[in-house]
Amino acid sequence: MILCTMQDNGLDLYLCREIVQAHGGEIGVVSALGQGATVWLTLPINQATN
CA distance 29 to 9: 14
pLDDT tens, per residue, the chain with 50 residues: 445 555 666 677 888 888 889 999 998 888 889 988 888 899 998 777 77
Domain segments of the chain: what residues? 1-50
